[in-house]
Amino acid sequence: MSQRYQPKAEDKFTFGLWTVGNTGRDPFGEPVRQSLSPVDLVHLLAEVGAYGVNFHDNDLIPIDAPPGKRAQILREFKNALNETGLVVPMATTNLFSDPVFKDGAFTSNNSEVRAYALQKTMKAIDLGVDLGAKVYVFWGGREGTETDAAKDPVESLKRFREALNFLCDYSLGQGYDLKFALEAKPNEPRGDIYLPTTGAMLGFISTLDHPEMVGVNPEVAHEHMAGLNFTHAVAQAWEAGKLFHIDLNDQAFGRYDQDFRFGAVNLKSAFFLVKFLEDVGYEGSRHFDAHAYRTEDYEGVKQFALGCMRTYLALKERAAQWNSDPQIQSLVKEIMKTSAVPVEVYSEVVADQLKSRAFDRTDMAARGLAYERLDQLTIELLLGIN
């Protein structure tokens, strides 16, 4: 492997404790790797060159840990962060593993479960902020249904909204410098999850009491599961000023939740995603929400983590090449020639003029657009053909 593409802190590559800590358990099989402690995982991440580590409350502190144990874990984890220089840019709540959340957390039909979910989240927010988190992710894995006979979808949205409003007020009341990022997923583990896409989340955010502190955390695999173009979802979030965080991984369309290494499946869409993030100057974490194949031991896990970062860096380099490639750029310029004159701003006069303007529709339609050539040049650049 080339010595280039060594990750550096300024690349802002982060991983969740649950990603490199994934033991390979799946619905059909037992774990294949022993579980490592949070301290071991911090050292593993430091070894491969990551910048930060993120966690769910219970990745760090078991749900039933007594106060003494909690304090000890926290002390050891903070020591590991100090030793390695790793930071915690994001934290989140596990509102999906425990059986109490079998019918959802914030959208559960049981108001006691909803109250418990709020309590658990407030405590997890305190923990995240204590460790330095500036972004707080909400992934509602159990917020959905198998049968719509069981839950009213309108009521569920109202419950979800009330919970987020409560938690925004809580965070503001505590004086925390924290933003919330909502993560959509269409299904799995529920048959259907509410607000299944990033676009749906963006619509929902504008209905909240504090929309300014809430954005999105789009994940490659989740939009791909729904058969959607991830870069388009990210672009919509970016344009709305709502791209607070991003979950990078890969996923074949139409499959189960694969959470593969970044770029492992669809290099071309990974390229356009990296190009987009770099071109617009996205400054947040590049978080990898993925895990190693179940075939791997911890050496393989390190290779997996390195692979995510190396592929990102290689694609970033390719994006810069694309932006300065003479053939590609002259073709882009040619293609964009016709877009130089903007559509005018509305006025009655402009509307009247436009209505009476003569268009040569046949001529406009007859022009070839050279997108085939542009795409092939892109492919050849990705293949390293000059």
What residues act catalytically? 56, 59
**Long-range contacts of range 318-324, CB-CB < 8 Å, 24 or more positions apart?**
318/271, 318/274, 318/275, 318/381, 318/382, 319/271, 319/274, 319/275, 319/278, 319/279, 320/278, 321/381, 322/275, 322/378, 322/381, 323/279
Which residue lies nearer to ligand GLT by CB, 11 or 247? 247
Please provide the DSSP assignment of 173-205 as one string: HTT---EEEEE--SSSSSSEESS-SHHHHHHHH
Q: Does 289 bind Mn ion (CB under 5 A)?
A: yes
**Whole-angstrom distance, CA of residue 180 vs CA of residue 92:** 10
Contact assessment for residue 121 and residue 93, using Cβ atoms and an 8 Å cutoff: yes
Which residue lies nearer to ligand GLT by CB, 92 or 285? 92
**Whole-angstrom distance, CA of residue 16 vs CA of residue 175:** 26
Select from 11, 59, 143, 183 the one that contacts ligand GLT (CB under 6 A). Answer: 183
| Residue 137, contacted partner among ligand GLT, Mn ion, none, CB below 5-8 A by kind | ligand GLT
Q: Which residue has the tokens 């090449």?
A: 321
To the nearest whole angstrom, how small is the minimum distance from the Cβ of residue 259 to ligand GLT? Answer: 7
**Whole-angstrom distance, CA of residue 158 vs CA of residue 163:** 9
Furthest C-alpha separation in the chain: 79
β-pair partners for 54: 16
Quick one: which segment of 61-69, 154-162, 228-236, 256-264 binds Mn ion (CB under 5 A)? 256-264
Q: Which two tokens stand for residue 301?
A: 């896990």
Select from 135, 289, 290, 292 the one that contacts ligand GLT (CB under 6 A). Answer: 289
Select from 57, 103, 143, 247 the one that contacts Mn ion (CB under 5 A). Answer: 247
Which residue lies nearer to Mn ion by CB, 167 or 181? 181
**Site map for ligand GLT, 226-255, x if CB under 6 A?**
---------------------x--------
Contact assessment for residue 249 and residue 13, using Cβ atoms and an 8 Å cutoff: no
**Site map for Mn ion, 94-113, x if CB under 5 A?**
--------------------
Amino acid at 248: L
All residues at 6 or more sequence positions from 342 whose CB lies less than 8 Å from its CB, including other chains: none
**Whole-angstrom distance, CA of residue 180 vs CA of residue 213:** 6
| Residue 103, contacted partner among Mn ion, ligand GLT, none, CB below 5-8 A by kind | none
Q: Which of residues 344-363 bind Mn ion (CB under 5 A)?
A: none
Which residue lies nearer to Mn ion by CB, 60 or 377? 60
Q: Which of residues 164-223 bind Mn ion (CB under 5 A)?
A: 219, 221
Vertex 386 angle, CA 380 and 335, to 5°: 65
To the nearest whole angstrom, how small is the minimum distance from the Cβ of residue 58 to ligand GLT? Answer: 11
Contact assessment for residue 48 and residue 7, using Cβ atoms and an 8 Å cutoff: yes
**Whole-angstrom distance, CA of residue 375 vs CA of residue 339:** 19
Q: Which two tokens stand for residue 182?
A: 């909502």
Contact assessment for residue 234 and residue 216, using Cβ atoms and an 8 Å cutoff: no
**Whole-angstrom distance, CA of residue 198 vs CA of residue 232:** 10
The b-or-e profile of 103-112 (16+ CB within 10 A means b, else e) is: bbbbbbeeee
Select from 137, 205, 214, 315 the one that contacts ligand GLT (CB under 6 A). Answer: 137
Q: Does 59 bind ligand GLT (CB under 6 A)?
A: no
| Residue 164, contacted partner among Mn ion, ligand GLT, none, CB below 5-8 A by kind | none
Which residue lies nearer to ligand GLT by CB, 61 or 319? 61
| Residue 18, contacted partner among ligand GLT, Mn ion, none, CB below 5-8 A by kind | ligand GLT
For β-strands 192-193 and 144-145, DSSP reports them as antiparallel
To the nearest whole angstrom, how small is the minimum distance from the Cβ of residue 124 to ligand GLT? Answer: 11
Name the nearest CA neighbour of 53 among 285, 366, 330: 285
Q: Which of residues 316-355 bind ligand GLT (CB under 6 A)?
A: none
Quick one: which segment of 21-29, 71-79, 257-265, 327-335 binds Mn ion (CB under 5 A)? 257-265
- Total binding residues toward Mn ion, as defined by CB under 5 A: 5
Which residue lies nearer to Mn ion by CB, 59 or 247? 247
To the nearest whole angstrom, how small is the minimum distance from the Cβ of residue 258 to Mn ion? Answer: 8
Q: Does 92 bind ligand GLT (CB under 6 A)?
A: yes
Which residue lies nearer to ligand GLT by CB, 256 or 371? 256
Which residues here bind ligand GLT, judged by CB under 6 A? 18, 56, 92, 137, 139, 183, 219, 247, 289
Which residues here bind Mn ion, judged by CB under 5 A? 219, 221, 247, 259, 289
